[in-house]
Amino acid sequence: MNDLTEEQIRTELALILDRRSADTRLSTMGAGSDDLDEGRRYLANTVRDGWHVPTWPREHGGQDASAHQNSLIGRVLREFVVPDLYPFAIGLGMVGPALLQHGTEVQQRDWLKPIASGEAIWCQMFSEPEAGSDLANVALTAQQDGDEWILGGQKTWTSRAMWADWAICLARTDPTQPKHKGLTMFAIPMSLSGVEIRPLMQMNRDAHFSEVFVDGARISDQCRIGDVGEGWRVAMTVLAHERAGGGSRGGGDGNARGLKLPSWVADLQVLVGEQSSDWRNKVAAIYARDTTSRWTAQRAGDEARSTGSPGPAGSGAKLRTVNSYKSRSYLANRTAGAHGMLEDGHGYIETLTAPSMSIRGGTDEIQRNILGERVLGLPGEPRLDRDVSWSESRRGLI
Ligand SMILES: Cc1cc2nc3c(=O)[nH]c(=O)nc-3n(C[C@H](O)[C@H](O)[C@H](O)COP(=O)(O)OP(=O)(O)OC[C@H]3O[C@@H](n4cnc5c(N)ncnc54)[C@H](O)[C@@H]3O)c2cc1C
């Protein structure tokens, strides 16, 4: 399809989606919401013409769009009601792009379209009790047995596990190799015998993330994503896309067309009544940061989608986006005064959700390390276990 103009995109989208109005309110990042249906309806509606993942190949639910066309679509989509796609975001924003880069033709054929259409939810089984920031320390094992692999171990903080049909799972296949080298990536069906999901409750009372225990679960070698021992490379693709925010389109921060101020400011204006100059200054500062953060995230996202490899810019984008989310949530909650302490208070859920933003997808400190080392060229952290076999380093020899 030739590139469409902004107006043509708007006309096409108006045929299948409702326009946002000043009253449209949606949750973001699943905060306080367990609704899967709206997201499923929206994705089923948009998949035929590839509107939600335009850069994906047409046969997999995209429209082979250029990076430029993709940003234009993203901008126009903000004028329409795009529900909170949090339950689907790992598939759309992280697993999909990783499969396009590392998956076999069969894997792409079988898994991408169900992701784009909302039929299949994916989760990300990377973190473990002793492998969070130090992700390469993953201990869940996969042992080859003919054409199958047998998995055993524990993952934790697995967001959306209880909704998920599939997980992308980082496993240790060779403990004699140094920690980054003995890893392999797999896709595992969550309904598999030997996989047990135990939801954990966050302080905002969402139970969206879980511990996952795996004991003797068997998967076919066809579920291996990338070569044996190449799991770290695949994991880096997934994480770079996570930081660049490739899956985060959708949710509650869009604007009706023509509105000068975003809806979160309009909401606050109703709450404050008399506006002090101090309050106006705070709003203006957040608004300015929010706008640059959006541009940075868009640039990192476009880079990710057009090159397939987002690079360290995603870390800058993640830091800014997190900062923005937190500032908006805290200001909204403080503006609501005492009522903000109640569960239906303005900004209450967002305020209780905000601290987790600095942890999920890699902590703020880790993003700063990446920027320091890979963008600013500062000396790297000492990494004493880089060339030692993983099993030796686990025994505390270094
Ligand atoms: C809401 C939420 C959802 C999540 N969803 C998922 C998911 O779906 N899938 C998944 O696999 N994981 C998920 N995670 C896990 C997340 O990626 C980890 O929590 C994160 O990487 C930090 O790891 P950790 O919790 O083990 O903390 P640790 O790594 O133990 O870190 C503890 C503290 O030490 C600091 N620190 C550690 N190493 C360094 C260093 N080298 N330099 C400076 N500071 C350092 C950290 O910044 C942090 O402040 C989620 C987490 C949250 C909170």
User: Is pLDDT at 308 greater than 70 in this prediction?
Assistant: no
Query: In CATH, what is the architecture of 122-230?
Result: Beta Barrel (2.40)
pLDDT digits (tens, 9 = 90+) for 197-220: 999 999 988 888 899 999 999 999
Pocket perturbation via mutation, ligand 1, pick of 126, 133, 159, 325 by most ligand atoms within 8 A of CB: 133
If one compares 302 and 15, the residue with the highest pLDDT of the two is 15
- Residue-level pLDDT at 222: 98
Report the distance separating Cα 31 and Cα 91, nearest Å: 18
Structure tokens at 135: 């992700």
Q: Measure 210 CA to ligand 1 centroid, in angstroms.
A: 14
Q: Is the Cβ atom of 86 under 6 angstroms away from ligand 1?
A: no
Query: In CATH, what is the architecture of 6-116?
Result: Orthogonal Bundle (1.10)
Q: Is the Cβ atom of 163 under 6 angstroms away from ligand 1?
A: no
Q: Is the Cβ atom of 159 under 6 angstroms away from ligand 1?
A: yes
242-375 folds as: Butyryl-CoA Dehydrogenase, subunit A; domain 3 (1.20.140)
- Helices vs. strands in the chain: H and E counts, helices first: 13, 8
Highest mean pLDDT among 9-23, 62-76, 123-137: 123-137
Phi, psi angles (nearest 5°) of residue 264 = -65, -30
If one compares 350 and 31, the residue with the highest pLDDT of the two is 350
Structure tokens at 133: 């920031």
- Residue-level pLDDT at 221: 98
Beta carbons within 10 angstroms of residue 2's beta carbon? 6
Beta carbons within 10 angstroms of residue 371's beta carbon? 16
- Domain residue extents for the chain: 6-116, 122-230, 242-375
Options 38, 128, 242, 303, the catalytic residue: 242
Q: Measure 181 CA to ligand 1 centroid, in angstroms.
A: 21
Are 82 and 251 spatial neighbours (Cβ–Cβ below 8 Å)? yes
Q: Measure 325 CA to ligand 1 centroid, in angstroms.
A: 18
Q: Whose CA is nearest to atom 32 of ligand 1?
A: 133
Region for 217 from its dihedrals, namely left if φ exceeds 0, alpha if ψ lies in -120 to 50, beta otherwise: beta
Q: Is the Cβ atom of 133 under 6 angstroms away from ligand 1?
A: yes
Region for 157 from its dihedrals, namely left if φ exceeds 0, alpha if ψ lies in -120 to 50, beta otherwise: left
242 an active-site residue? yes
- Residue-level pLDDT at 256: 45
| Lowest model confidence (mean pLDDT) among 14-18, 62-66, 176-180, 281-285 | 281-285
- Is residue 236 packed enough to be buried (19+ CB in 10 Å), middle (13-18) or exposed (0-12)? middle
Report the distance separating Cα 264 and Cα 272, nearest Å: 13
- Residue-level pLDDT at 313: 75
Q: In the predicted model, what is the mean pLDDT of residues 306-326?
A: 80
Angle CA 293–202–98, to nearest 5: 55
- Residue-level pLDDT at 254: 47
The helix or strand, by DSSP H or E, that contains position 170, with its residue range, turns out to be strand 166-172
- Residue-level pLDDT at 321: 85
- Residue-level pLDDT at 282: 87
Given pLDDT bands bounded at 50, 70 and 90, which one contains residue 130? very high
Query: CA nearest 78: which of 268, 298, 234?
Result: 298
User: Is pLDDT at 359 greater than 50 in this prediction?
Assistant: yes
| Lowest model confidence (mean pLDDT) among 72-81, 128-137, 224-233 | 72-81
Q: How far apart are the first and last CA of the chain?
A: 57
User: Is pLDDT at 377 greater than 90 in this prediction?
Assistant: yes
Are 335 and 272 spatial neighbours (Cβ–Cβ below 8 Å)? yes
Q: Whose CA is nearest to atom 18 of ligand 1?
A: 132
Q: Is the Cβ atom of 124 under 6 angstroms away from ligand 1?
A: yes
Average pLDDT, the chain: 87
pLDDT digits (tens, 9 = 90+) for 60-111: 999 999 888 988 998 899 889 899 898 999 999 999 999 999 999 999 999 9
Query: CA nearest 248: which of 361, 362, 352?
Result: 361
Report the distance separating Cα 364 and Cα 385, nearest Å: 23
Q: Is the Cβ atom of 127 under 6 angstroms away from ligand 1?
A: yes
Q: Measure 127 CA to ligand 1 centroid, in angstroms.
A: 8
Name the DSSP class of 151: E
User: Is pLDDT at 15 greater than 60 in this prediction?
Assistant: yes
Angle CA 180–321–159, to nearest 5: 55
Structure tokens at 55: 């850069």
Given pLDDT bands bounded at 50, 70 and 90, which one contains residue 47? very high
Q: Tell me how long the chain is.
A: 398
pLDDT digits (tens, 9 = 90+) for 231-287: 999 999 999 888 776 445 555 554 444 445 566 676 677 666 666 788 888 888 988
- Residue-level pLDDT at 290: 81
If one compares 244 and 48, the residue with the highest pLDDT of the two is 48
| Lowest model confidence (mean pLDDT) among 151-165, 182-196, 276-290, 301-315 | 301-315
Q: In the predicted model, what is the mean pLDDT of residues 368-392?
A: 90
Instruction: Please state, in angstroms and as integers, the Cα–Cα distance from residue 135 to each residue in 2, 78, 91, 130, 309, following that order.
Output: 42, 35, 20, 8, 19
Are 112 and 48 spatial neighbours (Cβ–Cβ below 8 Å)? no
| Ligand 1 atom with minimal separation from the 160 CA | 8
- Residue-level pLDDT at 304: 66
Exposure letters 307-320 (e unless 16+ CB within 10 A, then b): ebebbbbbbbbbbb
Q: Is the Cβ atom of 156 under 6 angstroms away from ligand 1?
A: no
Are 364 and 319 spatial neighbours (Cβ–Cβ below 8 Å)? yes
Q: Whose CA is nearest to atom 24 of ligand 1?
A: 132
